[in-house]
């Protein structure tokens, strides 16, 4: 390779490390392009480099720019690692607030120290990662003005003019609900739904997609064959119109979804044969029953919980305003079924 030749690398393959957070969903990362190696299997930064970054760059930057915070920063990376490691061997981090008016000076000073400390740290840059923004905007999809306002709200902190729209993907969703009911999808209409979303894709190609277990997955509900959503990777489907992913599901699954294993976790059969776990399962079943009882609206003072049939597609940024604004009413009538909330739960 000639010196100075341009290398194009997906961002997620460039070594980086989380540096800080803004509120709950916004993570500030620092990327080190000179640490990238095509032969490397990972994108992490080595422990030696992390220690160097903290001991010789990050902590000195904070002491210099915000001297009043000196007493809050561990004296070394090794000390910080010991302090934030719990008895289970995992890391539980604390946080130190940085005044907003010091951020620019902190960033400039840190980048300078990084470049001076090690040549491989030169050309480092910051990336703002926003995650967990699902349902960030809710609007009437058939109203063009509402779609535009929702788009502007979603990208309030992003200069869209400086983005390559074809390189960005956005999930667009449509929810179908009936008050007092749980609405779910019919398996018999999956092909018709996909054909509507991808009108230029030949029917035989969609049929092959639905038979491909690697790219198409059924999500059944209530162990009833006709009630099922699906997940489909459509990026390689000819005529997909730029849609790379489609998901149809019922939001009732949110009732049992847990970020960490809890009452609704998957159980092992052997747990029924062990007295200590068998008793725990019985108690958990009581808790689950109470949850479903409340969702059905049978608990006094509790309104109950409906469920919507939700359809999501992933498209490039340049197509987001013209995608999934609505579905034909006759297609909706064939594709979903509304079940009384009390009967469902």
Pairing of strands 125-130, 336-340: unpaired
Considering only CA atoms, which of 209, 206, 212 is closest in space to residue 192?
A: 206
Domain ranges of the chain: 11-130, 163-344
Q: Please write the tens of the pLDDT for every residue from 222-281.
A: 888 999 999 999 999 999 999 999 999 999 998 998 878 889 988 888 888 888 788 888
Q: What is the mean pLDDT of the chain?
A: 89
Banded model confidence at residue 2, pLDDT cuts 50, 70, 90: very low
The C-alpha atoms of residue 74 and residue 128 are separated, in whole angstroms, by 25
Q: Please write the tens of the pLDDT for every residue from 65-109.
A: 999 999 999 999 999 888 888 877 787 778 889 998 999 999 999
The predicted structure's pLDDT at residue 1: 39
The predicted structure's pLDDT at residue 32: 95
The predicted structure's pLDDT at residue 202: 95
Mean pLDDT within 302-312:
94
Secondary structure string (H, E, C) spanning the chain: CCCCCCCCCCHHHCCEEEEEEECCCEEEEEECHHHCCCCCCCCCCCHHHHHHHHHHHHHHHHHHHCHHHHHHCCCCHHHHHHHHECCCCCECCCCCCCCHHHHHHHHHHHHHHHHHHCHHHCCCEEEEEECCCCCCCCCCCCCHHHHHHHHHHHCCCCCHHHCCHHHCEEEEEEEECCCCEEEEEEHHHHHHHHHHHCCCCCHHHHHHHHHCCCCEEEEEECCEEEEEEEEEECCCCCCCCCCCEEEEEEHHHHHCCCCCCCCCCCCCHHHHHCHHHHHHHHHHHHHHHHHHHHHCCCCCCCCCCCECEEEEEEEEHHHHHHCCCCCCHHHHHHHEEEEEHHHHC
Mean pLDDT within 3-28:
82
Mean pLDDT within 186-204:
96
Model-level pTM? 0.74
What are the distances in angstroms from CA 96 to CA 9, 69, 171, 286, 305? 33, 9, 34, 42, 39
The predicted structure's pLDDT at residue 4: 56
């Amino acid at each position: 390779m000639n010196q100075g030749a341009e290398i194009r690398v997906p961002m997620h393959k460039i070594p980086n490390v989380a540096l800080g957070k803004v509120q709950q969903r916004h993570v500030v990362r620092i990327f080190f392009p000179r640490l990238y190696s095509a032969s490397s299997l990972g994108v992490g930064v080595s422990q030696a480099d992390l220690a160097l970054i903290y001991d010789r760059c990050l902590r000195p930057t904070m002491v210099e720019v915000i001297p009043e915070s000196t007493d809050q920063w561990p004296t070394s990376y090794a000390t910080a690692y010991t302090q934030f490691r719990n008895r289970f061997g995992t890391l539980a981090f604390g946080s130190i607030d940085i005044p907003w008016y010091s951020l620019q000076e902190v960033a400039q000073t840190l980048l300078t120290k990084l470049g001076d400390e090690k040549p491989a740290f030169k050309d480092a840059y910051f990336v703002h990662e926003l995650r967990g923004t699902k349902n960030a905007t809710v609007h009437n999809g058939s109203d063009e003005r509402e779609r535009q306002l929702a788009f502007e709200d979603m990208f309030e902190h992003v200069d869209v003019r400086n983005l390559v729209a074809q390189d960005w993907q956005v999930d667009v969703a449509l929810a179908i609900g009936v008050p007092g009911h749980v609405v779910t999808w019919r398996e018999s209409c999956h092909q018709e739904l996909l054909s509507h979303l991808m009108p230029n894709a030949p029917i035989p190609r969609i049929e092959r997609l639905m038979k491909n277990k690697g790219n198409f997955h059924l999500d059944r509900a209530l162990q009833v064959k006709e009630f099922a959503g699906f997940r489909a990777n459509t990026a390689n489907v000819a005529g997909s119109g730029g849609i790379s992913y489609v998901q149809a599901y019922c939001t009732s699954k949110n009732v049992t979804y847990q970020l960490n294993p809890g009452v609704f976790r998957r159980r092992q059969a052997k747990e029924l044969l062990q007295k200590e776990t068998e008793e725990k399962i019985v108690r958990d079943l009581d808790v689950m029953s109470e949850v479903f009882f409340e969702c059905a609206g049978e608990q006094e003072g509790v309104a109950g919980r409906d469920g919507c049939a939700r359809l999501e597609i992933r498209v490039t940024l340049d197509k987001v305003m013209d995608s999934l604004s609505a579905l034909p009413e006759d297609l909706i009538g064939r594709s979903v079924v509304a079940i009384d909330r009390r009967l469902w739960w």
